[in-house]
Structure 1
């Protein structure tokens, strides 16, 4: 499901993700290389009314990864070992945005943030989200939120026990 639907299906995780990704303006993007090994890259991200998007210049190895294998992960930037803000993770598939009107909306979001528009040619990918999660270590344990497509958001606190 695209971002707008995700916000309705998993409102707490979506709010945490939007806040973090908007504040940081970057995500760690996980893609699958041609040989099947993982690739992780820091990329800028933007929200439109309906989508969570990332853009890449042409040619880009990340874009080649996604065009070949659309499985993708976005992870918030951890602010350090203690990470008091927690980690947000979004999983799904990248959908290349080819419609000119949708690309214009994406470019408007970038322009509002940076006063700049990406020159063509470039790749824009929207996330088709299938699952998401959030975890924060607090009060001697970890609090997590999780969601999978077709299920409700769930929350749990796990107290740390002996190793």
Structure 2
């Protein structure tokens, strides 16, 4: 597993494409595992800050409980027909950001200074509800993938920690 900064150093162009997919819509989907092993999908707003990929969850939420029990998770950029190009007047696909997925482990951020810096950035981005504040998590990455629709099929790019970037074309 690696931090976002290590992934960016290993594959800067691919990391920029992945980040663009998440930046295209601030909402994303987070897959976690329930105690019984069943998957759970929840909405989340990932944030790229200080060379890391951050998640923040409300204390006591089911996402929080899932991640405390088993930190493995998968993050998926928001996908919509508009982003895929189906509503483009020209009718072409692949005109916007790729569909991106990041798998890894959510790690609690416990350093008070690091947490305070992120909370300042988060408050500058959006209003936080009153109360104790969110639980702060950093995502350690095991694998990353994107899919881009083209007129001739799709292009799948994938990278695993310690491995090379792979590109596959599907018709």
TM-score > 0.5 by shorter chain? yes
Residue 71 of structure 2 is aligned to residue 70 of structure 1: yes
SS in 2 for 1:24: coil
Under a length normalisation based on structure 1, what TM-score does the superposition of the two structures give? 0.88
Q: When the two structures are aligned, how many residues end up with a matched partner?
A: 159
What is the aligned partner in structure 1 of residue 37 from structure 2? 36
1:1-45 Cα shifts (integer Å, max 9, x gaps): 111111112323321222222231121000000110000011111
**Alpha-carbon distance between aligned partners in 2 of 1:115 and 1:36, rounded to the nearest angstrom:** 34
Which aligned segments of 4 or more residues in structure 1 are displaced greater than 6 angstroms? none
**Residue 22 (str. 1) matches residue 23 (str. 2):** yes
Shift of 1:109: 2.2
Are residue 99 (structure 1) and residue 115 (structure 2) matched? Answer: no
TM-score by length of 2: 0.85
Compared CA separation, residues 144 and 30, structure 1 to 2 (3 A): same
> Counterparts of 1:52 and 1:136 in 2: how far apart (Å)?
22
Q: 1:82 to 1:111 in 2, by over 3 A?
A: closer
| Cα offsets for 1:113-160 (capped at 9, x unmatched) | 2255874243111100010000112031111111001111122323x2
1:111 aligns with 2:123: yes
CA RMSD of aligned residues (A): 1.9
Match of 1:143 in 2: 155
Structure 1: tracts of 5 or more residues without a match: none
Instruction: List gaps (5 residues or longer) in structure 2.
Output: 85-93
1:44-59 equivalences in 2 (<5 Å):
44-59=45-60
Of 143, 153, 160, which aligns to 2:165?
153
